[in-house]
A and B are shown apart, each in its own frame.
Chain A
């Protein structure tokens, strides 16, 4: 079984809809991250959390929110999706420096 799982793997939605992407990990790591990957822009950090009570904004947090429900779960929400949020979204976990990524969610906002 994968150590970091993401659901859904693919999602098509419409402008204005609320979307939640979920991430679960079995690695026992305290630190979790959400990134988006766009062609030409690479991986950019949206939010990160170093433990259940710690949430921090990354470089592109506008339009997103997160919830750290438990050590193993970190969800990303788009309150009102817009087309330029179409991207690949990756969750990652780490215990110290090395980050381990999930398989990604391909989100399309029409």
Chain B
């Protein structure tokens, strides 16, 4: 499984840039996907979700894209701010199952 910890992939961006965080999933039967943000010392915070009958969903400054052909999920953050610095990870739920499987964490570092 993928890990959240000391050796996370890291994405470094400048304040104001757009950020793209990627996540690959392996189960073609997954029908629900979710992105979380975890700041240091805090619990995972829901950002945005998407169901498999959609390709794109937008929130406030965030967009999730789902490419079922290549089993790829991405989170786009527009006009990244220092407060966006955190670990971001995706999760998937397989159709018919009630549990989430958590994927890779990526550390986002935003420089002023």
Contact = CB atoms under 8 A, between A and B. Distances in A.
A42 B3 contact: yes
A98 B34 contact: yes
A40 B5 contact: yes
A45 B99 contact: yes
A41 B34 CA distance: 19
B46 A98 contact: yes
Interface stretch (A11-19, A63-71, A74-82, A99-107): A99-107
Interface residues of A, number: 22
Nearest to B103: A42
Contacts of B43: 4, 90, 101-104
B1 interface: yes
B78 interface: no
Interface of B: 1-7, 32, 34, 36, 41-46, 49, 89, 91, 93, 98-100, 102, 105
